[in-house]
Structure 1
Amino acid sequence: MKKILSFLIVLVLLVGCGKLKEEEVPVELGKKITNIDGYYSKALMEVKRGNDVKKYDLEISYSEPNYFKVKMINQDNNSTQMILKNDEGVFVITPELNKSFQFQSEWPLNTSHAYLYQSLVSDILNDENTSVVIEEDEIIIRSEVAYKTNSDLKTQKVVLDVKTLLPKEVIVYDSKMEPVITVVFIEFDLNKKFDNNYFDKELNLEAETLALGEGGDYLREVNYPNYYPEGVRIVSEQVTSDYAITCFGGDTGFTIYQQFVDDLNSSILPQFIYGEPILVNGTFGALGPTSISWYSAGSEYMIVSNNLTQDELFEVARSFTIEYGK
């Protein structure tokens, strides 16, 4: 009986010694992310803006040393886009246009991303006030975030599996502590192997364009923002069968270009972009120092201003109400 009791005491001590402590979690996360050669994950992402909610299916792939692929499907209209990083650079692939856009950017490690494991760990390690709570089968971490393209996003809640330290759910909050971005991971594979062409730009563009099939005809309607800075009004407008140019003036000024896209020859967006990839109106766009641009529902949009800040450009852009019906 004494031997059994002694064995149980030793077993309890061993289990207790092996239990992860809250203060050890950031260090262990740093070790884990350093030792990962690659991964493949699937997730559901929800982005809120007031009463508007957009939902996306995500596939995220990573291979060392610095290859990334994020495939995003908008559940509203089933449109697909992809952000790709390889030895050639950073690209947004838009199958509907059969076109890729190259960015002069350090994406993805220069800003926060709720769907990237590396970004989550980086934010956790960079915040001196990160809080960690270990529950029965989960670790709940709260930290600050650093969204370069949206300064109103302030903090995140990251739920990790206590055994694997892999993410289960991420919620990003704004300055009012309202949830804006929610990501739920439904699969996370650390043993995924990728072939040599998996991160190739041209092959990905070709495959996604073929999968898309024939596109449909969108209505040619001029769209306007629902928000612009106080003291601003429309001062001129030019509308043709191919494009619309709307100029706003007053206390500040900006111009909106909308191009109805039938083929690549009618595209106004440059193939090399000085700026950062950004999620706007259900699609990956580009935010530069004086402009923001995106493609949606058969039209390309570009807002240009020497007066608006990047946050103001983003606010104007995301206030568009774009119908996806054809």
Structure 2
Amino acid sequence: MTKFKAAIIGGGHIAEQNHIPALKTLSDRVEIIAICGRDLEKTKLLTAKYGIPHAFDQPDEMYAAAAPDIIINATANNLHYPFTIQALNNNCHVLCEKPPALHADQAREMADLASSKNKVLAYNFQLRQTPEYALLSRLKQEGQLGQIYHIKAHFLRRRGIPGWGNFTNKEIQGGGALMDLGVHVLDLALGLLDYPIPAKVLANTYDYIGKKGGKGLMGTWDPATFEVEDACFAHLSFADNASIMLSAAFALNTKLEKSVNLEVFGTRGGATLHPPALYTDMGDELTDMHFNHLEETDIQLKNTMAFLDACEGKPSNICQAEEGAILQGIVERIYNSADKGGRE
């Protein structure tokens, strides 16, 4: 089998800590041939460190000289759309960091272009690859949950506003806790419902703690430059009467420093992501089943494997273009509802 030739756009922390190790581990299937970054000298140091042949600071030059098959888009949120469009127009498959884009129409254009080019466009929602989520998916497939009618999904930090990077810059990030954290658990919840489009979306966002400034688990942030929401709460209703309650927060006065969870409620049983457990009844007796020995896994590696499977035309559970477009449409509706004070 011919190896894919992969290039990474964006030479920052995510590329070095997540994507390069995963691609290197899968060297029998893919070869990293180039990195394209804003600072050419830093990019050259990165390519030299990992034995990658080419460094560029101009994507056009990279496509002409290196001719990659795959692009890993590890740029800031506001660059997901332009660099993904460029990659697809250069006939590359694309694995893009989350969220898909800043706006729903951009994500839709990206999905339509990928379809017209017959290329895979996928998004790096790694939590799909956790053993806990695999368990929930299996319980659903086995019918042990019955019809799922409500999911509570949350990704919360008590004081976790990033004091570095662009996380509080709305122009670059597009939003705050929802864009950075909430999209992960929203993707998981939608996946358990087979990714429907909501009939109604109602939401509220807040910035009380962010606007006060302070120091938390991820450094000190400046209230004068805090432009995004520190908390978001949304209710999604679907045509079949199913619903999702979504909560995302950089900073919230809650008990735990960090909490990521799904609570799933079905007609035959309920389940939680953490702890991984099934709650049901047998013979009119309440029954709890706990799954305490799930095998640990490298979720970035598994997500990259799933991406390569999709590129090879194999079955894959990775978040692909159409689901990304649906998710971005929901995110936009959440923000629009919040702007209207919780109305749609």
TM range (shorter): under 0.3
* TM-score under structure 1 length normalisation: 0.22
Choose between structure 1 and 2: higher strand proportion: 1
* TM-score under structure 2 length normalisation: 0.21
Q: Which has the larger radius of gyration?
A: 1
Higher relative contact order (CA 8 A, sep 6+): 2
